[in-house]
Amino acid sequence: MDKKLNILVIEDSQADAELNVRLLRSAGYEVTYQRVESAPEMIEALNGETWDLILSDYLMPNFTVQAALEIYHKGGLNVPFIVISGAIGEVKAVQLIKAGAHDYLLKSNMARFIPVVERELREMNNQRAIINISNALSSSEEKFRSYIDNAPDGVFVADETGKYIEVNDAACRITGYSKEELLTMQISDLLPDESHEIGITQFSHVVNTGTSKADLLFKHKSGMLRWWTVEAVKLDETRFLSFTKDITDRKNANLEVMKAREELQHLNQYLMDARENERATVAMEIHDELGQALTAIKIDLKWVQEHLEDIDKSSQKLSRIIEMTNDTIKKVQRISAELRPELLDDLGLATAIEWYSDEFEKRTGMKCVLSLEDVPDEGERINLALFRIFQEALTNIIRHANATTVYITLRPLPDGITLIIEDDGVGISQKSISSGKSLGLIGMRERARQISGTVEFSKSSAAGTKIVTFIPTPIKDPDRI
Ligand SMILES: Nc1ncnc2c1ncn2[C@@H]1O[C@H](COP(=O)(O)OP(=O)(O)OP(=O)(O)O)[C@@H](O)[C@H]1O
Ligand SMILES: [Mg+2]
């Protein structure tokens, strides 16, 4: 306990005042004091200084303890007020205590003086501490409230059963519910089936450990599912506070990026496989078609070598050999044209499409209806990209469309080139269009994307499948692509 005491003594007798002070000093207190004996003196003393203790006589020539107590109360002071007087009788003593004095001592019996002073100082200290704490609490409660109300994040306070006992405006915005509605709800009411278990686990975590943090799916009042990031802390045994942010847009963007990354990985694999398959096809064609033709030529040449004397027959054979050689040359041209149509470089996109459509008709029996307008020649890469998109579209038609006619349109637009391939087959499903596994389609889109273009697939029951490719021109920076 602080042993320094500044005492206000209300007493007409200097000797009595000193007596009390001496008792306190002998109990180890370092005492400073002022003696007053009238109302004005008392008021001035209270205004001028802070006091630890007030000792008052009962009756003085110009003052009474009742008047002193009135002044004391008006001042709203938290200082022990002890009355020390001659015998006044029990009734008056009780009245004094009722009037607000902390204790009453007889001048003739000061044995209780020190213990009473000590008890009152201790109680006063406790009371002051409680007042300080409650002031601090109410001001921090105020701060807490205003912080919660104005927080940009959704703030929810739940009790230990998960029932909401406090929410802010942002929480209402995020959930779509009003404050009144939320205060009748509990955490599990906002959790959809998908995240019910993990949501409850997170709540148990904050109850048991004091904190938790997670990204969870929540159910908006409209029924929409939204992603929230939730950070929770334990305030006390019955209050758990969570800060909640709606991160649906961010989460969706991340999912898009992840989906694109996955598609790209698949596409890489697909392109590698496609290259291998193409090599295998070319090897097979060279082996089957050219190999056989060259073997036949070789056999016939050998025959001519051995029958040179038979001019007529040799000449016949040589004519056959020339025919076979011509056929072989055509086969070589076809195979190499499939791999990389020279026409594309020499005569442009429209001619290459015409040639390929012709081959396609011969191979499949389907009819191609062409509407090819002159388009600006924007260079090899663009022609090749459009041609490959066209090739893949036609290959898909053979494999999947069950069509009889293909409509091919190449047209210049004010701001680009469009290539439209439409068939009258069964039509493509929406699932195939959006599937990350449709690598042929993704490859077509990717080819267009690399030259800032787009490919759109659609199904119309009348027209089967429609593929619209658009490439913006002129290409501003061809080196970039
Ligand atoms: N013209 C079309 N008519 C009907 N369905 C089509 C058409 N084109 C594509 N599809 C559907 O879209 C799916 C995806 O096409 P995609 O080209 O990506 O793959 P694929 O042709 O099956 O295999 P590949 O990877 O060898 O090209 C096909 O499996 C098919 O179901
Ligand atoms: Mg395909």
Tens digits of per-residue pLDDT, 42-56? 999 999 889 999 999
Same domain for 465 and 370: yes
pLDDT tens sequence across 351-401? 889 989 998 999 899 999 999 998 888 888 888 899 999 999 999 999 999
DSSP character at residue 476 = S
Question: Whose alpha carbon is nearest atom 17 of ligand 1?
Answer: 440
Distance 441 CA to ligand 2 centre (A): 7
> Residue 60 is part of which domain span?
4-133
Q: What are 233's two structure tokens? A: 């802390």
Q: Which atom of ligand 1 approaches the CA of 395 most closely?
A: 21
Question: Whose alpha carbon is nearest atom 5 of ligand 1?
Answer: 428
Backbone angles phi, psi at 226, to 5 degrees: -130, 150
**pLDDT confidence tier of residue 137, bands split at 50, 70 and 90:** low
Residue with tokens 């802010």: 168
Residue 242 has pLDDT above 50, yes or no: yes
| Domains contained in the chain, number | 4
CATH number of the domain that 369 lies in?
3.30.565.10
Distance CA 395, CA 442 (A): 15
pLDDT attached to residue 481: 41
Q: What is the mean pLDDT of residues 79-87?
A: 88
Residue 477 has pLDDT above 60, yes or no: no
CATH number of the domain that 187 lies in?
3.30.450.20
pLDDT attached to residue 291: 83
Residue 253 has pLDDT above 50, yes or no: yes
Same domain for 468 and 387: yes
pLDDT attached to residue 233: 85
Distance CA 241, CA 239 (A): 7
Same domain for 129 and 18: yes
Backbone angles phi, psi at 415, to 5 degrees: -120, 15
Question: Whose alpha carbon is nearest atom 24 of ligand 1?
Answer: 440
34 domain-assigned: yes
Same domain for 361 and 469: yes
The residue from 133, 165, 185 where one domain ends is 133
Q: Which residues, at least 6 apart from 454, have a Cβ–Cβ distance to it below 8 Å?
A: 445, 448, 469, 470
Query: Dihedral of CA 202/206/212/218: which sign?
Result: positive
Same domain for 239 and 158: yes
DSSP character at residue 162 = S
143 domain-assigned: no
Q: Which atom of ligand 1 approaches the CA of 433 most closely?
A: 12
pLDDT tens sequence across 17-37? 999 999 999 999 999 999 999
Q: Which of 143-152, 330-339, 410-419 has the lowest mean pLDDT?
A: 143-152
pLDDT attached to residue 462: 66
Residue 478 has pLDDT above 70, yes or no: no
pLDDT attached to residue 55: 95
Distance 458 CA to ligand 2 centre (A): 15
The residue from 133, 160, 186 where one domain ends is 133
Q: What is the mean pLDDT of residues 450-474?
A: 88
Work out the mean pLDDT of the chain and round it to a whole number: 87
Q: What are 465's two structure tokens? A: 């499948």
pLDDT attached to residue 100: 82
Distance 443 CA to ligand 2 centre (A): 9
**pLDDT confidence tier of residue 76, bands split at 50, 70 and 90:** confident
Same domain for 169 and 110: no
- Identify which has the larger pLDDT, 430 or 278: 430
Same domain for 417 and 354: yes
Same domain for 121 and 46: yes
Question: Whose alpha carbon is nearest atom 23 of ligand 1?
Answer: 440
Q: Which of 15-24, 89-98, 123-132, 444-453 has the lowest mean pLDDT?
A: 123-132
Distance CA 440, CA 457 (A): 12
Same domain for 269 and 198: no
- Identify which has the larger pLDDT, 123 or 297: 297
The residue from 228, 246, 264 where one domain ends is 246
118 domain-assigned: yes
Rg (CA), the chain: 50
- Please report, rounded to a whole number, the percentage of residues in the chain having pLDDT higher than 70: 95
pLDDT attached to residue 282: 79
138 domain-assigned: no
Same domain for 409 and 329: no
pLDDT attached to residue 480: 45
Q: Which residues are near ligand 1 (CB < 6 Å)?
A: 396-397, 399-401, 423, 425-428, 432, 438-441, 465
CATH number of the domain that 95 lies in?
3.40.50.2300
Question: Whose alpha carbon is nearest atom 10 of ligand 1?
Answer: 428
Q: What are 48's two structure tokens? A: 């001028």
Same domain for 384 and 289: no
Separation of first and last alpha carbons in the chain: 84
141 domain-assigned: no
461 domain-assigned: yes
Same domain for 289 and 170: no
pLDDT tens sequence across 293-328? 898 899 999 999 999 898 998 999 999 999 999 998
144 domain-assigned: no
